[in-house]
Structure 1
Amino acid sequence: MKTLALFRHAKSDWSDARARDFDRPLNERGQRGAIAMGRHIRNGRWRFDRIIASPAVRVAETIETASRAWGRAFPVEWDRRIYLASSATLIDLLREMDGDPESVLMVGHNPGLEDLIFDLVPDDGSSPLREIVERKFPTATFAVLELAIDRWEDLDLGCARLVELTRPRDLDATLGPELPD
């Protein structure tokens, strides 16, 4: 059994229309979301043998901010292939994992992370959490999948069970979608 946690970067800043997508930082709500999620992960039962992440600025800032909330810094393996990757690319990256860690935290982007959940968790009606992901996988969302594999190279479609899904608004209603006046 392997564990794969997925953490989508927090809300990014779109105020500079000239900035490259890769270089967009977090906005204020994103900072608050990363802090809330960092505290949530710290207080949970999850521990990670390896953290791999997209090197995009908004991902790096999400990790930095969440790590401060965890109360410690973690070594991160930056992998450019995660930046805006498809599910197929993410699966290939996980299959190539060196050292065969028991638990991995991947920090990245949509639609790749969301699609990875769809590819790994069977669509058989048995997962109410998957149904929530089908509606939306918002920024700063944290998901944990238990994989019915012994080695990462055995990762295959439909081999996972989604055991946790936490959105920022689940922790703080002000971090959810803006409501009409």
Structure 2
Amino acid sequence: MTKRLILIRHAKSSWDAPFDDHARTLNDKGRTGATAVGDWLRANTYLPDEIYSSDAARTRETTDVIVTALGTAPTIVLKANMYHGQPAALMGVLQQAKGDTVALVAHNPGIAFFAEQIVAQPPDHRRFFDYPTCATLVCDFPINDWAEAVSRSGQVVDFVVPKDLA
């Protein structure tokens, strides 16, 4: 069997209001980018069964905008340990997942480092290693259970950033 992982960095957030980092929401560009990524996921039938998201406002909002564009109703789980989570924390969340297609929505630098560590071969895309806002990696794993997921075993299916979709 094959499991599919979709790694999404949160969309562009606002710096307008003077509140704490955890409470920052998306700006208009971020909402547009998240909608474009959701549309792209739907058009390519990259449809998650489960989405695990950091509990920060910008990741929750990114998740909500993408799910609206998908037109599906995946299970959504908010995880506090994904807020600025490092690769080990993201791997821990992934290894507990139950769906066949699972999305993780998190923050840099952790999600970029995790993306680099999880794939056998990086995609041929100039933005992969800096993983800009709303960057999205789709990769497959030849496993039956997410508990079997290990570094350097993901086979890249696709990678996109919102500017690619404009």
The two structures have a TM-score, normalised by structure 2, of 0.90
Read off the aligned partner of 2:25 and give its amino acid letter.
P
Separation (CA, whole Å) in 1 of partners of 2:5 and 2:112: 13
Match of 1:138 among 132, 135, 139: 132
Q: 1:12 aligns to what? A: 13
Separation (CA, whole Å) in 1 of partners of 2:155 and 2:74: 26
CA displacement, residues 113-148 of structure 1 (integer Å, 9 cap, x when unaligned): 1111111113xxx544376412x2111111101113
Q: 2:119 aligns to what? A: 121
- Residue 104 (structure 2) pairs with residue 106 (structure 1): yes
Read off the aligned partner of 2:14 and give its amino acid letter.
D
The SS at the match of 1:133 is coil
C-alpha RMSD over aligned residues = 1.8
Q: 2:64 aligns to what? A: 64
Separation (CA, whole Å) in 2 of partners of 1:78 and 1:149: 25
Q: 1:75 aligns to what? A: 75
The SS at the match of 1:145 is strand
Separation (CA, whole Å) in 2 of partners of 1:103 and 1:72: 13
Q: 1:163 aligns to what? A: 157
1:38 deviation in Å?
Answer: 1.4
Which is greater in Rg?
Answer: 1
1:152 deviation in Å?
Answer: 1.2
Separation (CA, whole Å) in 1 of partners of 2:91 and 2:14: 29
Separation (CA, whole Å) in 2 of partners of 1:128 and 1:64: 27
- Residue 82 (structure 2) pairs with residue 88 (structure 1): no
Separation (CA, whole Å) in 2 of partners of 1:104 and 1:149: 13
Q: 1:48 aligns to what? A: 48
The two structures have a TM-score, normalised by structure 1, of 0.83
Separation (CA, whole Å) in 2 of partners of 1:84 and 1:43: 30
Could you list the runs of 5+ residues in structure 2 that have no partner in the other structure?
Answer: none
Separation (CA, whole Å) in 2 of partners of 1:10 and 1:41: 15
